[in-house]
């Protein structure tokens, strides 16, 4: 009981810290390697980033370290983000998870983001030659797969180059989750905490995209409540998210309607202080050991949106 109380107090403390402006706000644009806070998993993108306490896919690993706490069998997979007309040429992530002993699990991830043919201009605004920008990150971690209490920690090395200038980062993630029976869970994560070299490209000091997220998720067992033969469940999540350069938090809400593991329908809504609020949606399928996911997140200001594709193999 004491451990449960301490965990809930910790999660509430993280949420309060994320909502407070006293220890945050490095200034908008004051963090580098922001690709490390972009959505990668189709499921997370469809839920508008909500559900930190209710991970269901190992594909969420690179943004939610608690994804490893739900792993039951080894899994390997790939996520691909297809941007609209204004976006990167390529954003791909790979992940792998391996259960270890009775309650532990190892996790590994790799992601790559690339831009080609960026229009170059000099200080007077005159056109120069085109250039490219690339970034990648490699991570490894370990987590506990406890039925009620779970934790995870991971380390990440990231590198980016813009034209012929580059910088690197050594970062860490951590998370805790507590599940009350099987229908309610509380979770909190700290991501991208660590060291980043000064930006050679901008000539200014920039911080890591450190972020705190805390949330609560509930599962409504529809079939059991109405005594139905089918196994429909509804997952509801509400999260608060704060990155180092935000002077106010984001509020994220997500819903997932699941028919066993076969079919999953998802929708989300995010309230963002400095960018557009908006809905997102997606779906997922499981065929034996094959997991397929799709998510869509619109970008109204640009007149398009991002498509997220995921393929996982469980064996």
DSSP string, 92-161: EEEEEEEEETTTEEEEEEEEEEEEEEEPPB-TTS-B---EEEEEEEEEEEEEE--SSEEEEEEEEEEEEE
Contacts (Cβ under 8 Å, ≥6 apart) of 201: 162, 163, 165, 167
Q: What is the CA radius of gyration of the chain?
A: 20
- At 43-90, the pLDDT tens digits run 999 999 999 999 988 999 999 999 999 898 999 999 999 887 655 567
What residue ranges define each of the domains in the chain, with the CATH number in brackets?
2-118+129-314 (2.40.160.40)
What is the chain's mean pLDDT, rounded?
83
Tell me what pLDDT residue 225 has.
60
Tell me what pLDDT residue 248 has.
84
State the Cα–Cα distance between residues 139 and 157, nearest whole angstrom. 6
Over residues 161-176, the mean pLDDT reads 87
Over residues 208-231, the mean pLDDT reads 78
Q: Which of 97-101, 105-109, 295-299 has the highest mean pLDDT?
A: 105-109
Q: Would you give the distance in Å from CA 297 to the centre of its chain?
A: 14
State the Cα–Cα distance between residues 269 and 297, nearest whole angstrom. 10
Residues β-bridged to residue 171: 156, 194
- At 56-69, the pLDDT tens digits run 889 999 999 999 99
Output the pTM of the full model. Answer: 0.86
CB atoms within 10 A of CB 12: 13
Whether the predicted pLDDT of 11 surpasses 80: no
Contact (Cβ atoms closer than 8 angstroms) between residue 297 and residue 278? yes
Contact (Cβ atoms closer than 8 angstroms) between residue 175 and residue 149? no
Q: Would you give the distance in Å from CA 223 to the centre of its chain?
A: 30
Over residues 172-192, the mean pLDDT reads 92
Going by pLDDT thresholds of 50, 70 and 90, the confidence category of residue 273 is confident
Whether the predicted pLDDT of 23 surpasses 60: no
Tokens 């599940």 sit on residue: 179
State the Cα–Cα distance between residues 96 and 196, nearest whole angstrom. 26
Whether the predicted pLDDT of 97 surpasses 70: yes
State the Cα–Cα distance between residues 52 and 277, nearest whole angstrom. 19
Joined tokens for residue 262 = 């076969």
Tell me what pLDDT residue 232 has.
80
């Amino acid at each position: 009981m004491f451990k449960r109380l301490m965990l809930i107090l910790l999660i509430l403390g993280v949420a309060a810290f994320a909502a407070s402006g006293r220890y945050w706000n490095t200034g908008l644009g004051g963090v580098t390697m922001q690709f490390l806070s972009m959505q990668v998993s189709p499921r997370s993108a469809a839920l508008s980033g909500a559900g930190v306490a209710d991970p269901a896919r190992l594909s969420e690993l690179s943004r939610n370290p608690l994804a490893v706490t739900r792993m039951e069998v080894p899994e390997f997979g790939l996520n691909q983000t297809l941007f609209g007309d204004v976006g990167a040429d390529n954003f791909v992530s790979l992940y792998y998870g391996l259960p270890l002993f009775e309650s532990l699990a190892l996790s590994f991830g790799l992601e790559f983001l690339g831009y080609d043919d960026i229009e170059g201009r000099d200080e007077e605004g005159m056109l120069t030659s085109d250039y490219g920008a690339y970034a990648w990150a490699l991570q490894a971690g370990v987590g506990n797969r406890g039925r009620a209490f779970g934790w995870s920690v991971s380390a990440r090395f990231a590198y980016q180059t813009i034209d012929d200038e580059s910088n690197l980062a050594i970062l860490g993630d951590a998370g805790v989750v507590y599940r009350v029976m099987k229908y309610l869970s509380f979770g909190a994560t700290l991501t991208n905490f660590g060291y980043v070299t000064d930006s050679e490209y901008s000539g200014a000091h920039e911080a890591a995209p450190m972020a705190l997220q805390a949330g609560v998720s509930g599962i409504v067992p529809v079939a059991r409540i109405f005594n139905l033969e089918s196994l429909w469940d509804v997952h509801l999540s509400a999260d608060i998210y704060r990155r180092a350069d935000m002077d106010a938090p984001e509020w994220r809400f997500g819903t997932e309607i699941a028919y066993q593991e076969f079919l999953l329908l998802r929708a989300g809504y995010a309230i963002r202080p400095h960018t557009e609020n908006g809905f997102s949606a997606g779906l997922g399928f499981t065929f034996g050991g094959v997991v397929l996911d799709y998510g869509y997140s619109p970008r109204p200001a640009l007149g398009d949106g991002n498509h997220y594709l995921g393929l996982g193999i469980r064996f």
